[in-house]
A and B are shown apart, each in its own frame.
Chain A
Amino acid sequence: MEIKLNGTWTEFPDGATVADVLDASGWQRPGIAVAVDGVVVRRSDWPATAVPKGAGVDVLTAVQGG
């Protein structure tokens, strides 16, 4: 299935969870947060939350700014 990961359509196995997506993309690290279709998914829920086909997944982290 394809999901839109940080704005780019990317192929993942059907049924992939948020944790799977982060592991596969290499973005799994402290200080990140994830929203699926505009709703925050808490860190404790990442392993159990399946990403729907076609979903928009945004992974944010803190950078210098402001």
Chain B
Amino acid sequence: MDEEPLVIGAFKAQSRLIIGTGGAANLAVLERALVASGTELTTVAMRRADAEGGSGVLELLSRLGIELLPNTAGCRTAAEAVLTAQLAREALGTDLIKLEVHADDRTLLPDPIETLDAAERLAADGFTVFAYTNDDPVLALRLEEAGCAAVMPLGAPIGTGLGIRNPHNIELIVSRAGVPVILDAGIGTASDATLAMELGCDAVLLSTAVTRATDPERMAAAMRSAVVAGHLARSAGRVPQRFWAQASSPPR
């Protein structure tokens, strides 16, 4: 079936699964998982260089033809996030940025005040901003008004695998969004990714669920199918839920 591509700013892809590279045991495992996932966009983090040389992740993604989505993970303030984004653009030659400003290490929840501030500054500076945000429908609209190209509400805190804790909020965000909505964080298994798409999200971003699975390659394949299934189901129009049975065979 011909499907509409995912379009975010100048970025366009057939795959609606964005993978994070964190947590993989090594680059060989990561490579097999990325290939199995069919992803066309993958996050990398920006860190201080050391004398050891690069981690090899850039070479891998370049070889696989996967576009880079640098993030601002580890930043605590808007100022830090803006500088990190500017450094990522300079280092990697991309305007795409996954904006994430974490409030604390224990929850890794996004700081809404700093995130909104940084989003305004980055959008004004020409970035294509993918904003990691809480599952707050009001904040999602504010981020869109600030110029974000995509809003990325969490299903649950990063790395918890708790799935989508508040599906209604995700639906509310989707129902009013004028930009793509990407479910980011909290995905634990394939059914979570399918649910995100059934709720109307345009894409899913996940990392831990694949990279820390017992068999990352197999889970990546599962996620690929799960996202396609959810997207098809959403666009197919599901039957309404009923309290009483309704015979599917003709009456005698």
- A residues lining the B interface (CB < 8 Å): 6-7, 25-27, 29-35, 38, 40, 42-43, 58-66
Check: B44 CB closer than 8 A to any chain A CB: yes
A59 touches B51 (CB 8 A): no
Binding site for A on B (CB under 8 A): 20-24, 30, 43-51, 53-55, 57-58, 68-71, 73, 79, 83-84, 86-92, 98, 100, 207
Q: Which single residue of chain B is at the shortest CB-CB distance from A29?
A: B54
Query: Which of A33, A40, A62, A65 counts the most B-chain CB atoms under 10 A from its CB?
Result: A62
Residues of B within 8 A of A35 (CB): 83, 86-87
- Distance between A66 CB and nearest chain B CB, rounded to angstroms: 3
Nearest 6 pairs of A and B residues by beta carbon: A65-B45, A66-B43, A33-B91, A33-B90, A33-B87, A66-B71
A26 contacts B57, CB within 8 Å?
no
Q: Check A66/B90 contact, CB under 8 A, given A31-B58, A61-B46.
A: no
CB distance from A8 to the nearest CB of B (A): 10
Would you give 19 A-B contacts (Cβ < 8 Å), ordered by A? A27-B50, A27-B51, A31-B92, A33-B87, A40-B87, A59-B48, A60-B48, A60-B88, A60-B91, A61-B49, A62-B47, A62-B70, A62-B91, A63-B46, A64-B21, A64-B24, A65-B44, A65-B47, A66-B44
Complex contact A42–B90 (CB within 8 A): yes
Contact B51 A66 (CB under 8 A): no
Interface of B is mostly: mixed
Write the chain B residue with the least CB distance to A27: B49
Instruction: Check B47 against A61 for contact (C-beta < 8 Å).
Output: yes
Nearest chain A CB to B70 CB, angstrom units? 6
Q: Which of A32, A38, A40, A66 sits near B49, CB closer than 8 Å? A: A32
Given A31-B58, A65-B20, A6 contacting B48 (CB threshold 8 A): yes
Complex contacts, A25 vs chain B, CB 8 Å: 51
Question: Which A residues touch B98, using CB under 8 A?
Answer: 66
Residues of A within 8 Å of B88, CB to CB, are 33, 60, 62
Query: Across the interface, do B54 and A61 meet the contact criterion of CB distance under 8 Å?
Result: yes
A7 CB to nearest chain B CB (Å): 7
**Residues A58 and B91 in contact in the complex (CB < 8 Å), given A63-B55, A64-B30:** no
Q: Cα distance A42–B91 when bound, in Å?
A: 9
User: What residues on B are CB-neighbors of A34 within 8 Å?
Assistant: 87, 90
B45, B49, B84: the one contacting A64 at CB < 8 Å is B45
| Bound Cα distance A21, B59 (Å) | 25
Closest to B48 in A: A6
Report the Cα distance A35→B21, complex, angstroms. Answer: 25
Residues on A with C-beta less than 8 A from B23 are 64
- Provide the bound-state CA to CA distance between A66 and B86, in Å: 18
